[in-house]
Amino acid sequence: MPPCSRQCLSKQLDKWVASRLSATQDQLLVHLTSEKDIVCLQAFDHGPWPRMTGRERGAILYKFADLMEQNTHELAILESLDNGKPLSASK
């Protein structure tokens, strides 16, 4: 399946797509986009992000990294399901 460009997101609003799990070849339904995703992309392109200083953007990215660390186990499970890796390799 080709990656979705920003131009096609509005056409695929609130759509589910099938993804194949590498390890088992089972299909998994994935929510591709939502209205929130569209708003976020517009904010990224036309909102304050392009005008922020590097320090301001860095603070946001550090916050994001903290959230990822707080949810490591859940993210590892998703990575294992998507790529067929053992859970220990996904952490």
Of 30, 47, 64, which residue sits at a domain end?
47
Confidence of residue 69 (pLDDT cuts 50, 70, 90): very high
The lowest-confidence range among 1-5, 20-24, 43-47, 67-71 is: 1-5
Q: Are residues 58 and 27 in the same domain?
A: no
Coil, helix or strand at residue 14: coil
| Whether 15 contacts 29, CB under 8 Å | no
Q: Are residues 40 and 60 in the same domain?
A: no
Q: Are residues 43 and 58 in the same domain?
A: no
Over residues 6-53, the pLDDT tens digits come to 444 445 556 665 666 656 777 766 565 666 665 666 676 678 887 889
Comparison of pLDDT for 21 and 73, the residue scoring more:
73
- Which residue spans within 1-91 are E strands per DSSP? 16-20, 27-31
| Whether 76 contacts 91, CB under 8 Å | yes
Domain that holds residue 60: 52-91
For the four alpha carbons of 71, 73, 76 and 81, in that order, the dihedral sign comes to: negative
pLDDT value at residue 22 = 59
Q: Are residues 29 and 65 in the same domain?
A: no
Contacts of 6 (CB under 8 A, 6+ apart): 41, 45
Name the nearest CA neighbour of 34 among 51, 48, 15: 15
